[in-house]
């Protein structure tokens, strides 16, 4: 077997916040992973939908970004966006 070629293999310290809340339309179970990776953006895992995205404030302003990343309709994405605006710096 040939030697494995790693692009990177790092171990970093993270801060992880687990949040569960009910919106008007949907339930959200999220893990927000904060590290020194991703240029200040947050890795947001949607545990119920098995989806994730790396999100910064600029991404929250991007039309259709959350709808596409989390397979949400417009109302569901707006609930999630509203919460993420509160927690992503």
* Phi/psi-derived region of residue 70, left when phi > 0, alpha when psi is between -120 and 50, beta in every other case: alpha
Structure token digits, residue 28: 């959200």
Residue-range domain boundaries for the chain: 15-87
Joined tokens for residue 18 = 């687990």
Per-residue model confidence (pLDDT) at position 89: 80
Burial 30-58 (b: 16+ CB within 10 A, else e): bebbbeeeeeebbbbbbeeeeebbebbee
| Residue-wise pLDDT tens digits, 47-85 | 999 999 999 999 999 999 999 999 999 999 999 999 999
């Amino acid at each position: 077997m040939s030697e494995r070629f790693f692009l990177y293999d790092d171990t970093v310290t993270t801060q992880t916040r687990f949040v569960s809340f009910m919106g008007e339309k949907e339930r959200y179970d999220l893990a927000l992973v904060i590290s020194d990776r991703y240029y200040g953006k947050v890795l947001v895992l949607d545990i119920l939908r098995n989806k994730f995205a790396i999100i910064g404030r600029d991404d929250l302003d991007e039309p259709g970004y959350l709808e596409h990343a989390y397979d949400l309709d417009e109302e569901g994405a707006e609930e999630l966006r509203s919460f993420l605006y509160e927690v992503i710096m």
